[in-house]
Amino acid sequence: MFRTRAMMSTIALLSLTACASLGRETTGHESPATTIRVRNDGFPDVNVFAVIGGVVSRLGFVPGNSSATLRVSQSLIAGATALQILVRPIAGSQYLLPSVPLLDGQLVAVTIANQPAFSQIATTPR
């Protein structure tokens, strides 16, 4: 009886210790995430990629005639100064939007036009 009670107490204590260690302490110095709002005014669905320092990373998918908010991983933008958006329609040719300066926590607004030449990219600080 005593052994069972002692074992149960030990298991409970270990469980509480393990759960408590899962909480991450924040220092208050974390950079806010860079957010990309994509409005797809075109008919084809598109995959959206970030091009940073020549590295292409998929951000997400935006169906035709709809919008989506995508987040850029902090590890991807660490130390980067510029961002380009690459759009790959499910049907059609891919196109690369002009480069924009990259700052921590900024909002990047992308409008994908039916004709790629009329697509736009703009940045605003939060």
Measure the N-to-C terminal CA separation of the chain; round to a whole number of Å.
61
Domains by residue range for the chain, with CATH: 34-124 (2.60.40.2890)
pLDDT at 119 over 90: yes
Give the residue carrying structure tokens 């959206």. Answer: 48
Determine the pLDDT at residue 19. Answer: 46
DSSP the chain: -HHHHHHHHHHHHHHHHHHHHHSPP--S-PPPPEEEEEEE-SSS-EEEEEEETTEEEEEEEE-TTEEEEEEE-HHHHTT--EEEEEEEESSS--EEPPPEE--TT-EEEEEE-SSGGG-EEEEE--
Q: What single-letter amino acid sits at 26?
A: T
pLDDT at 109 over 50: yes
The answer to whether residues 122 and 90 touch, using CB atoms and an 8 Å cutoff, is: no
pTM for this prediction: 0.73
Determine the pLDDT at residue 91. Answer: 86
User: By C-alpha distance, which of 40, 75, 77, 78 is closest to 60?
Assistant: 40
Determine the pLDDT at residue 11. Answer: 55
Determine the pLDDT at residue 87. Answer: 97
